[in-house]
């Protein structure tokens, strides 16, 4: 697997994180370079970390991850989406809480679970793991930072409706993961 194939794979893998980053941008009144770095780092790190777990330990857990991975992602995304819907309807969004540790950790894990299987395929295909995860991490970082900007531009005009839409999108991504596995 060459650089171009890994780059195309990285773009495809980063799309869940991109969509979630758009949702996060909806909840922020104003974004900064720090916010973009936080979101990009969370998603980029986990998108790169999960193939490592798959590569080194995936053979032991292959059946469990393939059988339950989509359910875990579905539950995490639906919980975060439901929380976002609740906050849009019942509370004013506190931008400082939008990127808190717990929320970002759950989102990063939920959007990267499928990458465990990618790591297993890397081992089978004898892909240079460090090159692949570097490309995946950097690509996801960039897409996530751009997604935050896109969501923020859209959300600044229609804040409450955008937050509701973002919550529904997260739930839809979770349902999509569940139905396609």
pLDDT in tens, 67-108: 666 676 677 668 777 876 787 677 554 444 578 898 899 889
| Rounded Cα–Cα distance for residues 22 and 80 (Å) | 14
Start-to-end C-alpha separation, the chain = 25
Backbone torsion region of residue 126, taken as left when φ is above 0, otherwise alpha when ψ lies between -120 and 50, otherwise beta? left
- Rg (the chain; Cα; Å): 16
Q: What is the pLDDT of residue 32?
A: 92
Q: What is the pLDDT of residue 160?
A: 65
- pLDDT (tens digit, 9 = 90+) per residue, 7-65? 888 888 888 888 888 888 877 878 899 999 999 999 999 999 999 988 887 556 555 55
Q: What is the pLDDT of residue 163?
A: 65
Q: What is the pLDDT of residue 97?
A: 57
Helix or strand run (H / E) with residue 127? none
Q: What is the pLDDT of residue 166?
A: 67
Q: What is the pLDDT of residue 94?
A: 42
Q: What is the pLDDT of residue 95?
A: 43
The most distant pair of C-alpha atoms in the chain lies apart, rounded to whole Å, by 51
Q: What is the pLDDT of residue 96?
A: 45
Query: In terms of Cα–Cα distance, which of 95, 139, 112 is closest to 5?
Result: 139
CB count in 10 Å sphere of residue 34: 9
Residue 175 makes CB contacts below 8 A (sequence gap 6+) with 74, 78
Q: What is the pLDDT of residue 173?
A: 75
Mean of pLDDT values over 157-166: 64
| H helical segments located in 14-93 | 15-27, 33-90
């Amino acid at each position: 697997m060459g650089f171009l194939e890994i780059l195309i794979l990285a773009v495809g893998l980063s799309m869940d994180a991109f969509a979630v980053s758009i949702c996060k941008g909806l909840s922020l009144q104003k974004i900064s370079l720090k916010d973009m770095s936080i979101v990009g780092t969370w998603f980029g790190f986990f998108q790169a970390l999960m193939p490592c777990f798959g590569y080194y330990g995936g053979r032991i857990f292959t059946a469990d991850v393939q059988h339950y991975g989509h359910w875990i992602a579905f539950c995490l995304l639906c919980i975060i989406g439901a929380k976002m819907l609740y906050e849009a309807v019942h509370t004013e969004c506190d931008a400082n809480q939008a990127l808190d540790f717990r929320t970002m950790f759950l989102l990063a894990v939920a959007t990267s679970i499928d990458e465990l299987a990618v790591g297993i395929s890397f081992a089978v295909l004898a892909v240079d793991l460090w090159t692949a995860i570097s490309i995946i991490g950097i690509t996801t970082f960039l897409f996530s930072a751009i997604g935050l900007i896109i969501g923020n531009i859209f959300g600044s005009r229609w804040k409450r409706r955008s937050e509701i839409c973002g919550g529904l999108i997260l739930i839809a991504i979770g349902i999509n993961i569940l139905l396609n596995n």
